[in-house]
Chain A
């Protein structure tokens, strides 16, 4: 652990806090006075400021300080979270985020960022200035009355000593509060040299009255040091409030010693002697001090002096102990969590992958050896390894809720931009999925959400005319279904017009004129490349990204996307994703000496290849199906066996066949990514190691089908590829 590591922690934690702040800010509009929410916002600023200071990130400290001051007004109920204030703080939140990111990059913020900061500060300071109670509260705490520091030139009435004199009388409760006067003396000794110290026991009562937990001691200290007065005063900063502390610089004036002697509770003569013993005063100087004191008749009683000088113990304020605040149990369970480097987790999963492979190898050996006992043992081992794998995989699982919550902001901003009133409804936030997926699903989801708001939900007038509430509703939902996670983006807008889609698809030559398509087929045309039209491209959704890109992104995650729409009532887009990317159920096939893995969930059926000719399509129960000969695709030497098999795969509504030599059965496998060199080989998505130690390539079915589709498309548009929905 070093400071760099700590800085990384700071960056990560700040970004997390800012996200919480943003969520709270979006929530605050519904509940403007909720103290928990306000406190959450405050705490984010407070914590970031506190930690930033430790790293010397003064820019962040200065900015968050002002933000925090404004939030403090809100906490005190002097300012309320209006829509404007929430909007301002969303910008503040963003700005702090930028500052933190610049700190992470060890870069100074660029001019535009600085200008934005200045602009926000003006706004925030304006709020502070408007606060009527400000003058009473925002004053810097009154500093201790500055006493004259060491006079360089000795005036006539100063004493000769060149050391400081420190008089200490402690409050009785000091020890009970955990403070030890000895500790202060020890610390003092680190700032200079204690020339002489006298411990005063004058206020120590008799045995009966003495409370062993009260403090009765006092000290007179002659101290030699180059430190300045403020530094020495600071030594006692924690006890200043209920102790009597007097610090006289070297060569103070006689009158000041006189005042000191008067101020201290002990007898004047005795104090004088102590000062002489300390070497602070000479006998002659003491005589002078005491003589001048005698002139000042009538001398005010010591008590009164103390009051005048404001150095009597302030009455101990027994603040009524407020009821202990109920611990907020519903706080995010985050505090019971351990933060683990994702890299370590990946490493663990990788190792477990190796373990599975090694286990499979052991089973294979056991089978070959025909040793029953050994086979039983390896079977048990495999089962346990699988359990370990499953629980390790759950470590990577995160709730989708925080991803969903991020859309509160998107929806809010986009709705304002569009001039629509749209509410976001989130459900199923606790549904878990692989962390890698969470990171990758953000962009497609954003596109779908923007699309739904822009094209799905109608303007208020149109809604009212259709008898719907003026406020549009966007719904994000997630749930688990048979080994997949399903994410829904639903709107209660106008729905899709099938005729218009069909017309457009025909215009763009995506389907043949007069083709008979089912409703679902028509709807899914919007995912076709080239479907998005200029007519549709608006400022928001038309950022050069069409629905086809969304579909491709989802497909790259081995997921699928489908669409449901009822005209007039709304549209639901359903994304189906595997729970994890790391491990798949595979179907092992062999070509020549090589083994390949096809993801099990993409396999529809297997049939024997009965066509001997050179076609590369087959007739499957009346359906024309193209196929790929893996032997040709991968240039495998040797003659094919007499009987070949076809594995029918389906992806994204398209089917195709893969011609292989052997079917070798189901097999669970860990996907290992290919190195960069092999990363672009068409048709290969990764590799895995078989129990026998051999390498098997994992086929990228999506890529193969797409490739096939484009080839076919060029050669014979609108034929061959069978849409199978």
Chain B
């Protein structure tokens, strides 16, 4: 059974490209357009990884990750945060929220695939 990865980003095109790359590598994907939407999709389904943007409307990525880590089924789900911010404060806040993996935007699909593969192979 293919591993399932959730992609949370307010950019539909980013979600599409990442999704195409991941599906091509043999993963399944779920897309969400912001933290709120993503949270509503944490409905008990098995997720092997969450890729989330930080800066999003409705609910930002860090709030989403904190909320997700409160749910038993997603307490230990690895998270890759997408960010362009080099701010250490943001990163520390993210680390405290349980997000250890950061990928800096902009990235190439291959880079994302490599980052994902380090945490979960298809």
Contacts and interface: CB of A to CB of B under 8 A. Distances in A.
A242 B92 CA distance: 13
Given A176-B76, A178-B78, A238-B119, A13 B105 contact: no
Nearest to B106: A53
A6 B17 contact: yes
A186 B58 CA distance: 37
Nearest to B118: A187
Nearest to A318: B96
Contacts of B121: 183, 186-187, 190
A46 B13 contact: no
Interface string B35-73: 111000000000000000101111110010011000000
A335 B58 contact: yes
Given A6-B13, A47-B10, A177-B100, A54 B117 contact: no
Given A6-B20, A54-B18, A177 B78 contact: yes
A621 interface: no
B34 A335 contact: yes
A39 interface: yes
A5 interface: yes
Contact size class for B? 35 or more
Contacts of B36: 327, 335
A369 interface: no
Would you call the interface of chain A mostly helix, strand, loop, or mixed?
A: helix
Contact of A179 (B11, B13, B93, B100): B100
B119 A50 contact: no
A335 B57 contact: yes
B2 interface: no
Contact of B13 (A51, A176, A318): A51
B65 to A, nearest CB: 10
Nearest to A8: B13
Interface of B: 9-14, 16-20, 33-37, 53, 55-60, 63, 66-67, 75-79, 82, 84-86, 89, 92-93, 95-102, 105-109, 114-115, 117-121
20 contacts: A1-B16, A5-B16, A13-B11, A13-B13, A14-B13, A54-B17, A137-B86, A177-B76, A177-B78, A179-B101, A179-B119, A183-B121, A187-B121, A235-B118, A238-B101, A239-B100, A319-B92, A321-B97, A328-B58, A335-B36
Interface of A: 1-3, 5-7, 9-10, 13-14, 39, 42-43, 46-47, 49-56, 61, 65, 68, 72, 137, 141, 175-180, 183-184, 186-187, 190, 213, 234-235, 237-239, 241-242, 317-319, 321-322, 324-325, 327-328, 331-332, 335, 339
Given A14-B13, A53-B105, A178-B77, 5 more contacts: A7-B13, A10-B13, A176-B76, A178-B79, A327-B59
